[in-house]
């Protein structure tokens, strides 16, 4: 599974390269995208299957299906009351006139705990849209509302595949709100904005590298003396306009990127400041995926014949993705939703100084990872915390 985890990290960086810019706040879930792509692969054959598997990475389709299944049956299935609260749900909705192929239905239910439901896409597409939106809102703790807008569903839709991912976690070492102070956050155009900065004098897991630093902020696992299981990693370039260069550097060597994501030791801190922020992004990702090289699923063919009992051509019509990440003194709330429509017809370690400063007062990259496996759940960048 380690190879698939590296592939997912590489895919995370590819999304950052294609989605981001120095002026853009960004949040997305690589794992949520991964779920939908693995589900599409489970019902695909021929050239479409080969291209999806190639897009996911060199570890292969079996490894990526195992990674998704491992996450679904492992840390995403711990139940309410666990710390942090991390949940995922998979939904498959097919038109009332169609049926899922038995092998595909058995696969998505047994491997990914998916729910499958018939929907009146032909007769009442707007009612179907409202019900599916309600499912996404419920599964994301209310953070993702109205994922699909009016007229997004129509009578040509045969199948909708969705993943919802939700996390609410408290810091292992919370910040004291009384210590939060306003300060300048410097933008890449040379201007600045005033934002509230959280601060702490507690030891922090920080590593220093040529051109950037990384801090690892663990979430409380709820276990006395137990190992934390999830962390946020903040990658801070030394230069105020160095975010895109840092992303390109990290994307060029995923193995080093993963190693740099886990600072080895907690160190004494000097000046330590992290801004409070809330970032979100909603994107229709079809063109994005095509630009990244995934074209075949959007071409009408018989390659999805293993998914649904339909004799005509099928193609992916659209892919919607929305993500919200909110960080404050207590911890993090994050949620993501990914929805794909099937249409009939066409469509390392640095030196440890005695005391380390970490002042995130200019654009930076963040990841939320499961520590044991290294799986990236959420990723993004903060270019301007007040937007």
Do residue 213 and residue 269 come from a single domain? yes
Residue 356 lies in a domain: yes
pLDDT for the residue 263: 74
Do residue 271 and residue 177 come from a single domain? yes
Distance between the two ends of the chain, CA-based, in angstroms?
38
Residue 243 lies in a domain: yes
Of the candidates 69, 77, 157, the one whose C-alpha atom is nearest the C-alpha of residue 109 is 69
Q: How far is CA 351 from CA 67, 356, 364, in A?
A: 34, 11, 21
Above 90 in pLDDT, residue 350? no
Neighbours of 289 (CB within 10 A): 21
Do residue 142 and residue 205 come from a single domain? no
* Burial call 251-277: b when 16+ CB within 10 Å, e when fewer: beebeebbebbbbeeebebeebbbbbb
Neighbours of 283 (CB within 10 A): 16
Domain containing residue 264: CATH number:
2.30.39.10
Neighbours of 97 (CB within 10 A): 13
Residue 303: give the domain boundaries: 2-166+278-344
What is the tens place of the pLDDT at every residue in 246-256?
A: 998 888 877 66
Average pLDDT over residues 231-242: 95
pTM of the model: 0.93
Do residue 286 and residue 201 come from a single domain? no
Dist. CA 81–CA 315, nearest whole Å: 40
Do residue 9 and residue 149 come from a single domain? yes
Looking at per-residue pLDDT, the higher value among 157 and 264 belongs to 157
Looking at per-residue pLDDT, the higher value among 310 and 163 belongs to 163
Do residue 127 and residue 226 come from a single domain? no
Q: Which residues pair with 269 in a beta bridge?
A: 356
Domain containing residue 332: CATH number:
3.30.497.10
Which residues contact residue 130 at a Cβ distance below 8 angstroms, ignoring those fewer than 6 apart? Answer: none
Average pLDDT over residues 317-335: 96
Average pLDDT over residues 319-335: 96
Do residue 146 and residue 295 come from a single domain? yes
Dist. CA 334–CA 353, nearest whole Å: 33
Neighbours of 214 (CB within 10 A): 23
Residue 260 lies in a domain: yes
How many domains are contained in the chain?
Answer: 2
Dist. CA 97–CA 156, nearest whole Å: 12
Do residue 6 and residue 132 come from a single domain? yes
Model confidence band, residue 156 (pLDDT cutoffs 50, 70, 90): confident
| 3-class SS letters over 293-354 | CCCHHHCCECCCCCCECCCCCEEEEEEEEEEEEEECCCEEEEEEEEEEEEEECCCCCCCCCC
Ramachandran angles phi, psi of 99, nearest 5° = -130, 145
Residue 387 lies in a domain: no
């Amino acid at each position: 599974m380690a190879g698939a985890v590296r592939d997912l990290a590489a895919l995370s960086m590819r999304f950052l390269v294609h989605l981001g810019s120095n002026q853009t706040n960004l949040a997305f879930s690589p794992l949520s995208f991964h779920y939908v792509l693995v589900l599409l692969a489970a019902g695909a054959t021929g050239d479409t299957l080969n291209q999806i598997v190639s897009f996911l990475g060199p570890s292969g389709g079996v490894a990526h299906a195992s990674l998704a299944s491992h996450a679904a049956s492992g840390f995403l299935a711990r139940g309410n009351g666990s710390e942090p609260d991390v949940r995922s749900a998979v939904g498959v909705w097919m038109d009332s006139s169609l049926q899922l192929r038995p092998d595909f239905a058995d696969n998505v239910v047994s491997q990914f705990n998916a729910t499958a439901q018939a929907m009146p896409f032909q007769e009442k597409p707007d009612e179907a849209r409202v019900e599916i939106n309600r499912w996404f809102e419920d599964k994301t703790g209310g953070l993702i509302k109205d994922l699909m807008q009016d007229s997004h569903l129509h009578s040509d839709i045969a199948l909708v595949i969705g993943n919802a991912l939700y996390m609410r976690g408290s810091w292992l070492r919370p910040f004291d709100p009384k210590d939060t102070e306003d300060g300048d956050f410097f933008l890449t155009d040379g201007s600045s904005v005033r934002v509230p900065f959280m601060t702490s004098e507690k030891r922090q897991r920080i590593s220093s590298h040529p051109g950037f630093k990384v801090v690892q902020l663990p979430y409380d696992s709820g276990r006395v003396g137990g190992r934390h299981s999830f962390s946020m990693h903040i990658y801070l370039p030394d230069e105020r306009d160095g975010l895109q260069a840092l992303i390109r550097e990290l994307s060029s060597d995923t193995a080093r990127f993963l190693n740099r994501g886990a600072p080895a030791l907690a160190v004494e801190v000097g000046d330590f400041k992290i801004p409070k922020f809330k970032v979100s992004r909603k994107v229709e990702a079809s063109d994005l995926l095509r630009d990244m090289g995934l074209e075949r699923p959007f071409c009408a063919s018989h390659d999805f014949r293993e998914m649904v009992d339909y004799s005509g051509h099928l193609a992916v019509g659209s892919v919607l993705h929305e993500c919200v990440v909110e960080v404050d003194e207590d911890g993090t709330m994050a949620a993501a939703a990914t929805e794909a429509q099937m249409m009939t017809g066409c469509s390392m370690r640095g030196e440890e100084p005695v005391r380390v400063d970490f002042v995130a007062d200019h654009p930076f990259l963040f990841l939320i990872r499961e520590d044991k496996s290294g799986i990236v759940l959420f990723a993004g960048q903060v270019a301007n915390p007040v937007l």
